[in-house]
Amino acid sequence: MEMLRICVTAITGAVLSLSIKKENPQFALLIGLGTGIVIFFQLFDYISYIYRTICQLSKTSGIDDKYLSIVFKIIAIAYITQFGCDICRDAGENAAASKVDMAGRVIIAFTCMPVVMAVIQEVGKFI
């Protein structure tokens, strides 16, 4: 049922955006942005449930919280990057979307370096 509500929100936003696009392209872009934000808030309960479940699994498995924090940061960066790229593409700015995508990849690589270093150190202990 939730997916139906999300689809109705997306279709409504798309129809509104298309109907306004000829007269006022700036508002069409804002409608697309607003639609994305509304859909995100519709998913908030699911996102918080996933977060709580992973945190609970991490505590029972003994995984260090700093690694879990890095995983959540990487997931957030990936979603934010995709959202930014989609907004840029909707605005017809493919070059800007490519730059946002590249920046997201670089920031993800930077963010995961502590995990990479820990893995390398653990492998080094066995060699």
Which two three-digit tokens encode residue 18?
């298309």
Q: What is the pTM of this model?
A: 0.77
Q: Left if phi > 0, otherwise alpha if psi is -120 to 50, otherwise beta: which for 92?
A: left
Residues 85-125: tens digit of each pLDDT: 998 998 889 999 999 999 999 999 999 999 899 889 988 88
Mean of pLDDT over the chain: 90
pLDDT band, very low/low/confident/very high, at 3 (cuts 50, 70, 90)? very high
Residues 32-47: tens digit of each pLDDT: 889 989 999 999 999 8
